[in-house]
Amino acid sequence: MEIAGSVDAILAHKGSAVWSIAPNATVFDAIQLMADKNVGALPVLENGNLVGIISERDYTRKVILKGKSSKETPVRDIMTTKPITAHPGDSVSECMQVMTEKRVRHLPVLKDDKMIGMVSIGDLVRRIISAQTATIDNLEKYITGDYPA
């Protein structure tokens, strides 16, 4: 059993609301939406299908460093195509491993090829800390005799 749970438990706790952007929107619009919603990445959806992801990292490396205009560059020109995704039943530890190995900070969550949410590295870390805190509390109660029989 996974002590920290699975992706669907994270989505159940945080909700599945996700802000997204269209591939023909400008990079400026994407960055503005990320700033407004305080997120570091946006899934790129076309006709309800995930076609990519755009992150602050994409912006800094593919717009700023290349001298492009964020008001003239469409998202499709800099988005990461074929993003790495997660599924609701994936464990927190599996996602952490993938994110660490692939050096990504956000995983769109797909169920039957439809996006149902997004998890970030922060979501996973919070879940692990919460699980560890609960385990420590239970162990302390067990040791002190306060654990229910």
What CATH number should be reported for the domain holding residue 49?
3.10.580.10
Q: Is the model more confident about 75 or about 13?
A: 75
- Angle, to 10 degrees, between the axis of helix 121-144 and the axis of helix 92-102? 140
State the average pLDDT for the chain. 90
pLDDT for residue 4: 72
Q: What is the pairing mode between strands 106-111 and 49-55? A: unpaired
Alpha-carbon gap, residue 3 to 132, rounded angstroms: 8
**Is 1 inside a domain boundary?**
no
Q: Could you give the number of structural domains in the chain?
A: 1
Q: Both tokens of residue 93?
A: 């530890």
Domain encompassing residue 118: 7-144
**Is 28 inside a domain boundary?**
yes
Instruction: Reply yes or no on whether the pLDDT at 58 is more than 80.
Output: yes
Instruction: Reply yes or no on whether the pLDDT at 91 is more than 80.
Output: yes
**Is 63 inside a domain boundary?**
yes
Alpha-carbon gap, residue 17 to 81, rounded angstroms: 22
Q: Token match 């970030």: residue?
A: 120
> How sure is the predictor about 1, in pLDDT bands with cuts at 50, 70 and 90?
very low
**Is 149 inside a domain boundary?**
no
**Is 128 inside a domain boundary?**
yes
Integer CA distances (angstroms), 29 to 32, 79, 99, in order: 5, 13, 26
Give this prediction's pTM.
0.83
Q: Both tokens of residue 34?
A: 């990320």
Integer CA distances (angstroms), 136 to 3, 4, 48, 129, 146, in order: 12, 13, 43, 10, 13
**Is 102 inside a domain boundary?**
yes
- Listed in order, strand segments (DSSP E) in the chain are 41-46, 49-55, 106-111, 114-120
